[in-house]
Amino acid sequence: MVKDQDYLKKTASFCIELAKKLGATDATAVVGHSISETVNFRNRKLDESDRSDSLGVGLEIYIGKKKSGITSSNLTEDNIKTLIERCIETTKITPEDEFNSLPDKDLLAKKINDLNLYDDDHIENNEKIEYLKEAEESALEKKEIINTETSFSESKSNFILASSDGFLNGYKSSSFSASCVAIAKKSDDKMERDYEFTSTCHLNDMLRPNQIGSLAAKRTIQKLNPQKIESEKISIIFDRRISKGMLSVLASAISASSIARGTSFLKDKINEEVFSSSINIYDKPDIVKGLGSKYFDSEGVKIEELKLVDRGVLKHYLVDTYYGKKLNLKSNGRSGGTSNLYFEKGSISYKNLLKLNQRTLYITETIGHGSNLVTGDYSVGATGFMLENGVFKYPVSEITIAGNFKDMFKNITLANDLEFKYSTNAPTMLIQGMVVAGK
């Protein structure tokens, strides 16, 4: 079991009180405990089983506008005292930075509503093994599947954040996840692989093992015997597993750190139309059982829903305390990033989205990290399927897709099939007029 809140609060409070006593003008302490268990199977055999137990403290000491930090996994009082003394001495010789400070007190979270992020249920290792065996057997029912890799992880964590301005709070969270990777082969000796997974806060919300096994097998078999295509300019549909990556790029591009450094193609774009007028984007921290849900950000600032993009217009950056001061903006609770980030679903059905163009490339996997946040250029390797009149005709591989986010964002059409499977979620997405490099 993870350490209870009383123990973590006592340790965090001790850190703050001692830091102030030894000369800190301000201080923060995060004390956390997490336990995780993972079982991996490969081709019907146990591959690995491990358990980790992590207890630690992270301290930040302020002396005026000077700041330094230190971490340790030794939570004895003597060691904490040594850590703080060392951190105080380090802070004294650290250069001043006028933007160093704790968050404004009036921004700190006060009221916390239960979001049901923690599940006391525990699944024993032998039950994890049975889950993985069933998933693999479901995948291996298809004769084309020659190998499988499966994994089951369970984690529980608890933490307390304390600061010298009086903030003292934290919460428990849990996660259960399982995945199945299937490898398929036909007589030509060429192999393909694909996967399915499930990840939830609560054990009973997971997909059944036969579901992830059969879906992994189906996706893998569909990719067999891929064809190469000629280079061309074509509309591309991104599967939901890939389309959410557009939001990850957006989040990086509108982070206060990127804006303050001038390293984002979206600098100075607040209140400008950066997407088509049909696009709305939200960051919602209070979804019950949400994989990205938070009660407050990593500085203790209250975190509320933001409509980041309203009918195509960029309305907010993701602002923390430090870079907010550089930009002369108040923190909006995004220290540590987004929570549950998503596109509002579109108005067209998935089936009709496939039929919008006579010929379309449907992308199911991208390879590499080809996003340049400074220029907005995008170029990645990809695999997928060729669509003709809404029908999947044949798999496609060994291609590169390219564009620029400034143009891509304005040419997005979204289906109405939004699901919340991740902390960042998007419906199936069509982008008109992208460049494909093939054979």
Q: For 247-284, how does the pLDDT look when each residue is reduced to its tens digit (9 = 90+)?
A: 999 999 999 999 999 999 999 999 999 999 999 999 99
pLDDT for position 87? 96
Query: What pLDDT band is residue 1 in, cutting at 50, 70 and 90?
Result: confident
Query: What pLDDT band is residue 355 in, cutting at 50, 70 and 90?
Result: very high
If you write DSSP's letter for every residue of 263-301 in order, what string do you get? --TTTT-TTSB-S-TT--EEE-TT-TT-TT--SB-TTSB
Question: For residue 59, which of 38, 42, 74, 43 has the smallest C-alpha distance?
Answer: 74
Mean pLDDT score of the chain: 95
pTM beyond cutoff 0.85: yes
Residues 6+ positions from 424 with CB-CB distance below 8 Å: 244, 247, 248, 251, 292, 338, 340, 341, 342
Q: For 207-227, how does the pLDDT look when each residue is reduced to its tens digit (9 = 90+)?
A: 999 999 999 999 999 999 999
Phi first, then psi: what are they for 82, rounded to 5°?
-60, -45
Q: Which residues pair with 418 in a beta bridge?
A: none
pLDDT above 90 for 186: no
Structure tokens belonging to residue 341: 């980030």
Q: Specify the CATH class of 5-222 in words.
A: alpha beta
pLDDT above 80 for 297: yes
- Judge whether 254 and 308 are in contact, CB under 8 Å: yes
pLDDT above 90 for 112: no
Structure tokens belonging to residue 364: 């199911």
Structure tokens belonging to residue 20: 């102030």
- Segment 94-120 mean pLDDT: 95
pLDDT above 90 for 108: yes
Structure tokens belonging to residue 243: 């389309």
pLDDT for position 438? 84
- Judge whether 62 and 100 are in contact, CB under 8 Å: yes
Query: Cα(215)–Cα(422) distance, rounded to whole angstroms?
Result: 18
Query: Cα(84)–Cα(61) distance, rounded to whole angstroms?
Result: 8
Helix, strand or coil, per DSSP, at residue 207:
coil
- Segment 223-245 mean pLDDT: 94
Quickly tell me which residue has 């080809």 as its tokens: 370
- Segment 119-133 mean pLDDT: 95
pLDDT above 80 for 189: no
pLDDT for position 224? 92
Question: For residue 412, which of 437, 378, 386 has the smallest C-alpha distance?
Answer: 378
205-229: buried (b, 16+ CB within 10 Å) or exposed (e) per residue? ebbebebbbbbbbebbbbbeebeeb
pLDDT for position 62? 97
- Judge whether 387 and 363 are in contact, CB under 8 Å: no
- Judge whether 169 and 109 are in contact, CB under 8 Å: yes
pLDDT for position 124? 93
Query: Cα(38)–Cα(125) distance, rounded to whole angstroms?
Result: 8
Q: For 371-424, how does the pLDDT look when each residue is reduced to its tens digit (9 = 90+)?
A: 999 999 999 999 999 999 999 999 999 999 999 999 999 999 999 999 999 999
Indicate the domain borders of the chain: 5-222, 226-439
Q: For 304-348, how does the pLDDT look when each residue is reduced to its tens digit (9 = 90+)?
A: 999 999 999 999 999 999 999 999 999 999 999 999 999 999 999
Round to the nearest angstrom and report the end-to-end CA distance of the chain: 55
Structure-model confidence comparison of residues 3 and 139, the more confident one: 139
Q: For 70-106, how does the pLDDT look when each residue is reduced to its tens digit (9 = 90+)?
A: 999 999 999 999 999 999 999 999 999 999 999 999 9
